[in-house]
Structure formats: structure tokens, C-alpha cells
Amino acid sequence: MTICSKCYYDNNYPEITFDKNNVCNYCIQIESLANEYGTGREKGIKKFQQIINEIKVNQKNKKYDCVVGVSGGTDSSYMLHLLKEEYKLRVLAVHYDNTWNTEISTRNIYAMINKLNIDLITHVVDNKEADDILKSFFMSGVAEIDGPTDLAVAFVLRTAAKKHGIKYIFEGHSFLEEGITPLTNNYFDGKFIESIHKKFGEMKMQNYPLMTFRKFVTSIIFDRVKLIRPFWYINYQKEMAIEFLSKNYDWKYYDGHHLENRMTAFYHLIYLPKRFNKSLKINTIAAKVRNKAISRKQAEELINKEDKASKDIEVYFKKRLNLSDNEYGYYMGAPLKNWKDFPNDKKKFEIMRPLFFVAQKFNLVPKSFYLKYCFKK
């Protein structure tokens, strides 16, 4: 077995290769991104300041400078502080509430916006319909059960930006803290969501903010909203952000990446590990080893640590979606499906690759999206 000499991935990790010094392709990719963006160094900080200056000029005649999607988690909460307090931007916070939030995450959102005096738009879903969509994904056997939420968040942010004449959306992604995930998995689009819901759902899709291919392309061409990731430029360390937020705001840590939402927690802690034998936990743990924040031995312990919230989440999930123990057991053991097994728009993304190539050059779509969606897999 080969283990990367810098991080924690071994040759079982998807799409992994090693160079002659046993450094994996993910570490190499991260290093090259850090060099390109000048992450955490003078080059990156300067570039980010230029972006901020551009935003202030271009949004001068509007009420807001930018949209920030908020979840109550560390990254988005810290971003609110950073953009409002340090860079003096007029921020509009937008929250997509799929009604699976934990109490603590909702409290965190209000703790931040109240103290910072930031306006908040909350898009609350019709919870019966949203649960029907989520349940249909669970029944379908695909891995992407969090896809409907992720795509709706993207659409709701774009919609809010358009409504208020805002040309910039900030995203809290950090490749240094989270790593780069392999491109093979986690595919979803509007048609894919629609087709799974049509096959397994019981209700009609009426209120769910479905971003169809046409709506997505229209938004790229006509709204031209730029996606900015501040943590690709400036120094960001999650542990420090957690400490800072807990000390300076009435904000609480919820113990785990992306676990502020019960649906996401089910996906990370139960569904992916049990159904697909996959853990996303390894990405953040490997990133910590890469950043020399923890040792290999500590990583081992973290990987094997039982998540104590698992049992409660499983009970909540069954109750919420009205699944008996038998039904739940049946679907958890049913044959696995791939996104390719259902109608989707992947071909359209490939055909229109030149458009998306230009779009990613101008930050209108993430580069990772372009690489994943626009090439034949």
C-alpha cells in the first residue's frame, strides 16, 4: 500500500496517483492552486483587495455589494464578519432553509446578522414537498441525496442577487482546509432532480426552486454574477475562526464539518459510509495532516472516532420521512444506483463546453464545476 508522504490518502482513494516522492496528485493540485492564488501570502491578499475595490466601484449605486449564503456554520459565519467588519462591504445574507436545520445553526445565523446589522433573506421551502423530494432520492438508491438542497441553494443565491442588482456571490470554500474532492462522484442537475422525483415522489413539484439547465444558462449569460471564494486568497484557518466566533459573537460550534443541518448530517455520517462505504470525513482530516495541524496518529484516531450524533440523526430521519424500520432497512440495503441511471442534462453541459469555458474564466461558474460537468466521464 502506498500512502502519500504529505497527507493521509492511500492508493484506495479515488483517482489517486503518486509522484516519485510519493506525493499524491491532490497535494500537488493544492500546492499549485496555492501558488496560483497566492493563498495567505502578500500576492493573494493584494489580489483579494483588488476584487473588493472593484466590487465597491461596481455596486456603488446599489443597496448591497454582495450576497453571502449562510448556514450557521463556521465558514459562512466567519465570512460575514470578515466582509462586513474588515472589508466594509454591504452584505446581503441569504439562507435556504430546507427545515432540517439544527437549532444551534439557526441561532448562529441570527447571532451573526443581529450583531453585524446585516439584512437576511430566508427562503423557507414547502417542507412537505421538500421532504417528498428528499425521500425520493433516498428511495432511488443514488449517492447524491443532498443534491436537491445544494442546487436549490445555488439557485436561491442567484435569484436574490438578480433581484437586488448584485453581481457578486461569496462562497466559503477553502481548498487548504477541505481539500479537493475527486470529480467522479456527486453529480446532479435540474433534470436529474426532476426525473428522480417524478419516478419515486408522491407529490407534484410546485414550490421547490428548481434550477433547470435553461435557467442556469440564462443566469450565466444575462445576470453575470461572479462567484468569489475569499479563502482561496487570504489566510483562513478553521480552528482560529471557531475560536474567534465563539469569543466575539454569541455563536456556538456544532462539532463536525457541514453538520449544522440534519439532512447533511445523515448524508455524511450514515448514508455515504453505510451505503457507499465512503467517508467525506477523510478529506478534512487529510487536509489537517497536509497542513501539519495534526499528526498521522491523531488522524487515525479521528477517522476511527465514533460520531456520537449518528444514532439520533438516524431516528430523526426515519420519523421525519415516515419510514418504518422495515422500509428504512429495505432502502438502506437496496441495490446502489448511479446518476447515469436516470435522465439528466450531462450531455448538454458537454455540448456547451465552450460557453462554460468562458464562464469559468470570468468566475461566472466555479472551475471545479467546469472540469466535472463539461467533459465526458
CB of 258 to Zn ion, least distance (A): 22
Provide the binding-site residues for Zn ion, judged by CB under 5 A. 4, 6-7, 24, 27
58/48 Cα distance (integer angstroms): 15
User: In angstroms, what is the minimal distance from the CB of 289 to Zn ion?
Assistant: 8
Answer whether 190's CB lies under 8 Å from 216's CB: yes
Of the two residues 83 and 285, which places its CB atom closer to Zn ion in the complex?
Answer: 285
Nearer to Zn ion, 23 or 116 (CB): 23
CB closer to Zn ion out of 5 and 248: 5
175 is written with which cell numbers? 481548498
* Shortest distance (Å) from residue 147 CB to Zn ion: 27
Q: How far is the CB of 241 from Zn ion (least distance, A)?
A: 24
Which of 156, 280 has the CB closer to Zn ion? 280
CB closer to Zn ion, 27 vs 265: 27
Instruction: Give the total residue count for the chain.
Output: 377
Give alpha helix (H) positions in the chain: 25-37, 42-58, 74-81, 103-116, 127-140, 147-163, 175-178, 190-200, 213-218, 238-248, 262-265, 272-276, 281-290, 296-304, 310-320, 325-333, 346-351, 353-361, 367-373
Rg for the chain, CA atoms, rounded: 20
- Minimum distance, C-beta of residue 73 to Zn ion, in the bound complex (Å): 25
Q: Are 91 and 121 in contact (CB under 8 A)?
A: no
DSSP state of 266: I
Whole-angstrom distance, CA of residue 150 vs CA of residue 145 = 10
Min CB(286)–Zn ion separation in Å: 7
CA distances for 4 relative to 20, 30, 279, angstroms: 11, 14, 18
CB of 323 to Zn ion, least distance (A): 39
Measured from the CB atom, is 6 or 84 closer to Zn ion?
6
Distance CA 26, CA 34 (A): 12
60 class by beta-carbon count within 10 Å (0-12 exposed, 13-18 middle, 19+ buried): exposed
What stretch of H or E contains 122?
Answer: strand 119-124
Nearer to Zn ion, 10 or 350 (CB): 10
